[in-house]
């Protein structure tokens, strides 16, 4: 059976970029860690990584093991926290994944009410995933996902919580400011500022610009709505 220590090793080597740093993080000597890796490679007949200049490059086997580690280890850590909560008489933990930038303030307003109603719950919000939020949900890295992109996937139930209108914001002196609405062609000579997600997940592209075969002259991103307004 595959030992979890090898999953921890590949995760730390990937995160820290070297065997020496990973050994220090795992509280073992570099030679001991190298010996464990060598025994693993000999047992399974694979190499986990190769030297690439001063760094390391994972092989296909190493990439596979890293992907497995990033799915399994968060689940094991969550299991440990849950058991600790049970032992302490607490009710458990709720891990919320966030893919919707405009929804963060909405969640912030709801969080105090939730924590008041459920003081024994360990509440955690995560915004970074190896692949995407749905994959994290299916991989049990999170318990709930807040996303603007509902997908028809077996074993996942989507419930709408917010209804919002797509709005275009321009400066007061901009020619479009006097208009009641904008057309896709109106943005072809403009700089468009959006949240930092892929164009395939932005309604202004998928439902507005792309169907009309239009694109803005420039496209840049900003993390926060307040920064967009200032720009």
The pLDDT of residue 130 is above 80: no
pTM: 0.52
The pLDDT of residue 1 is above 80: no
Alpha helices in 88-119 (DSSP H): 103-117
Summarize pLDDT for 5-24 with one digit per residue, the tens. Answer: 999 999 999 989 899 999 99
Do the bridges between strand 49-52 and strand 55-58 make them parallel or antiparallel, or are there none, so unpaired? Answer: antiparallel
Range 175-230 classified under CATH 3.40.50.2300: no
- Banded pLDDT at 104 (limits 50, 70, 90): confident
Q: Check if 4-68 and 175-230 are the same fold.
A: no
- Banded pLDDT at 193 (limits 50, 70, 90): very high
The pLDDT of residue 162 is above 90: no
The percent of the chain in helix, strand and coil, each rounded to the nearest 5, is 50, 15, 40
> Which class would CATH give 90-163?
alpha beta
Helix (H) or strand (E) holding 79: helix 60-87
Give the CA count within 13 Å in the CB-facing half-sphere of 105.
5
> Domain extents for the chain?
4-68, 90-163, 175-230
User: Reduced to 3 states, what is the DSSP secondary structure of residue 76?
Assistant: helix
- Banded pLDDT at 100 (limits 50, 70, 90): confident
- Average pLDDT in the chain: 87
If you average pLDDT over residues 39-59, what whole number do you get?
90
Range 4-68 classified under CATH 1.10.3720.10: no
Summarize pLDDT for 60-94 with one digit per residue, the tens. Answer: 999 999 999 988 998 888 888 878 877 776 667 78
């Amino acid at each position: 059976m595959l030992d979890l220590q090898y999953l921890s090793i590949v995760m730390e080597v990937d995160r820290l970029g070297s065997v020496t740093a990973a050994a220090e993080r795992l509280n073992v000597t570099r030679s001991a860690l190298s010996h464990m890796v060598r025994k693993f490679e000999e047992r399974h007949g694979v190499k986990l990584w190769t030297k690439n200049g001063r760094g390391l490059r994972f092989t296909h086997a190493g990439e596979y093991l890293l992907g497995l580690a990033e799915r399994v280890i968060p689940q094991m850590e969550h299991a440990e926290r849950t058991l600790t909560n049970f032992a302490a008489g607490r009710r458990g933990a709720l891990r919320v994944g966030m893919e919707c930038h405009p929804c963060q303030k909405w969640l912030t307003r709801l969080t105090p009410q939730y924590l008041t109603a459920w003081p024994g719950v360990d509440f955690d919000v995560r915004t970074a995933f190896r692949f995407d939020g749905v994959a994290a949900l299916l991989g049990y890295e999170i318990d709930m996902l807040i996303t603007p992109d509902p997908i028809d996937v077996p074993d996942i139930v989507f419930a709408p919580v917010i209804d919002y209108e797509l709005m275009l914001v321009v400066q007061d002196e901009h020619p479009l400011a006097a208009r009641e609405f904008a057309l896709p062609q109106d943005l072809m000579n403009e700089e468009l500022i959006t949240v930092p997600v892929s164009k395939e997940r932005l309604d202004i592209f998928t439902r507005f610009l792309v169907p009309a075969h239009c694109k803005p002259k420039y496209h840049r991103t900003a993390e926060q709505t307040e920064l967009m307004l200032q720009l």
